[in-house]
Structures are given as C-alpha cells and as structure tokens.
C-alpha cells in the first residue's frame, strides 16, 4: 500500500481547492438531477414502464 503524502498548501491554494471541490459537487448534483429528469421523461412516454414502477415501488435505499 502506498504511503500518504501530505502537502501543506498556502491559503490562496486552499481557497482554489475549495472552489474546485464545490464546483465538482455542483456538477455531480446537476448530472444526477439530469439523469432523474431523463427517467421521468421516459416514464411519461412509456405507460407500461410507469405501471411497473408503481407496481414494484421505489427501493427504500433510493428515497431522498
């Protein structure tokens, strides 16, 4: 297993890192939201798929 390397960043670099991490989280949430919108659109266009979802429900682990 590789050893941990710790690098001390200056304040300016930490701010940039924090901004980059926040943007990565925002992009990830946007991608998840877009996937959900595609699923909803599919269900609206395919009544059989919507009926199956209503029959089997949503797994508890996927609820908000």
Question: Would you state the pLDDT for residue 28?
Answer: 97
Q: Quick one: average pLDDT of 49-54?
A: 86
The C-alpha atoms of residue 21 and residue 28 are separated, in whole angstroms, by: 11
The C-alpha atoms of residue 32 and residue 34 are separated, in whole angstroms, by: 5
Q: Would you say residue 61 has pLDDT above 70?
A: no
Helix residue ranges per DSSP H, the chain = 11-45, 47-56
| Model pTM score | 0.61
Evaluate whether residue 48 is within a structural domain.
Answer: yes
Tally of domains within the chain: 1
Question: Would you state the pLDDT for residue 26?
Answer: 97
Evaluate whether residue 5 is within a structural domain.
Answer: no
Evaluate whether residue 3 is within a structural domain.
Answer: no
């Amino acid at each position: 297993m590789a050893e941990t390397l710790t690098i001390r960043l200056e304040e300016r670099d930490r701010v940039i890192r924090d901004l980059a991490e926040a943007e990565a989280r925002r992009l990830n949430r946007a991608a998840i939201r877009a996937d959900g919108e595609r699923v909803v659109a599919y269900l609206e266009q395919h009544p059989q798929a919507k009926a199956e979802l209503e029959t089997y429900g949503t797994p508890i682990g996927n609820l908000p």
